[in-house]
Structure 1
């Protein structure tokens, strides 16, 4: 404890030395080392932490959220298509005369399109992309079995067997006797080696993406450590620049050092960057429950009602409503005029460090050559 206290005391004296009884040359030499070093440390850690939070926000907004929305759309559309196919084929002669309904064809096309959009979202790893390609292939096989059932619409035994097999590709658990009259029977996902159906694999992908979203939304240990280091360095830097300005005014009669004033300008942006990072982090935290709702609270029944009754009030559990809420939350969770600023935080600190170092070196060299009138050696 005593060692830590002594190290802190020495660091404090080096970063913020007293001007009382100090020679100009020694003070300028210490400032020449301490202030540029503090500027580099402060803005490098600030730039890294700010860029990390901003990158997480952009990743959630542009990749993870659209991928979760696409999976929710695909899952709901396939269940609606299954319900439509069963209803059409149960109507004697209807499927033979006019084929399956327009809603069935639209929902299958939408499911396929949604899966393709998820693949292109950039949110998946290589292994997850391969898994999604397997799902897309299963959807093709699933529609093939529905087509065969349509072709055997007049043979109820063969038709029902093919519909049952198609549903087993969609959902690995059979329909319970109590749910057979339901338009959309429950389909809980299976995990482990038995997770082979389309719903099982889509649910597994949703679970992985939600876990990734939760990791990105949480405060990382590295970001917290960088923020603490940056905060301490910024406080010492601001105090050091102020005290150095006071020193130059008292000892060297320099009322305003232009290079030091310019080097201090990036400090004015620190409150804005901090507010922007906090807004982004708060928005990411708020998006986690919505992502959970996308995977667990949506249902084909809700989507069907939203489609059949477009003028009713929007259901807060509908996919499009949750999509809009997530997009608005993540989009509002930032200061738009700061977009693209993150890469320039560190260069601004380096420029400031160079200005401070160059100015103090010039003052020190001038002092060593000719002492200014009134300067104390």
Structure 2
């Protein structure tokens, strides 16, 4: 995933959506979806509307489906890293019932170790995976990632196709400010990251520990590079108690360990809120971050045709419909997103080219190792 900064919007008032639980979430979405075909609980549209509106697209998917079956491929091995993707996988299996998705969620070092073991053994056991930019750069240089021209030839948005058809954006997730609504009111939520340094928040703020990779790491990199945060201020953030990932932060918020978190994974918070967690989700005025999920097909994968089908479906309106229902921004403008999310145009960014990401890595490592050794 890649993240970048949006400059301050000084004339804009803060937008924040309070989610007091499953019923409140439903109520918010019913008020915003508007059309009879909308899935009022999560955004998106109903399946029949997809079939009727995108017939040519669905026909192309049927061709890829038949090609996979003709090749004897009845499964596809998928390693997603985006949280809450299970409904997306279930929808794929419903749409293509003779293809079984064998999936496992491995994050960071665990996924890297799995891939390193495969490559060392001279085998490829994964067909499709979501990867970060650093991994994509490394595996591309090693010839591990397959190039596929089909998306560019079949109407997939240009800003979702990268590396000349070697990796693709299949979701865009908001890194949000999230708070426990039983302990913090929407009016109390800071509008700027600097407000978290106010003594009144002492002992109440949780933080995701930067790892030298993406997300929160790049937030500091961008702020620091543009002169919007000083080393001393970064050091102040380093005093907050940390958790290793967004799942632990969301759990900590739900359980009352923390009152508020400046920057964590919005879809995880939305998913927890849908299950009844008292969470609010919003964005800060001085920067807003969206992480772009990148997905690849591996060279010499065990089920190449089923892999292409899965990738094509993830990039289709049908697949993106399920992605937006799961709390993400999609790659199409004509699918209504979860209305608890701020409008995408307020946080919209373009994925950074791999060369830019690699060039920024020394700064990312400098900040991470300097303050979170």
Larger radius of gyration: 1
- TM-score exceeds 0.5: no
Identify the structure with bigger relative contact order (alpha carbons < 8 Å, sequence gap 6+).
Answer: 2
TM-score after normalising by structure 2: 0.19
Greater per-residue helix proportion: 1
TM-score after normalising by structure 1: 0.19
Greater per-residue strand proportion: 2
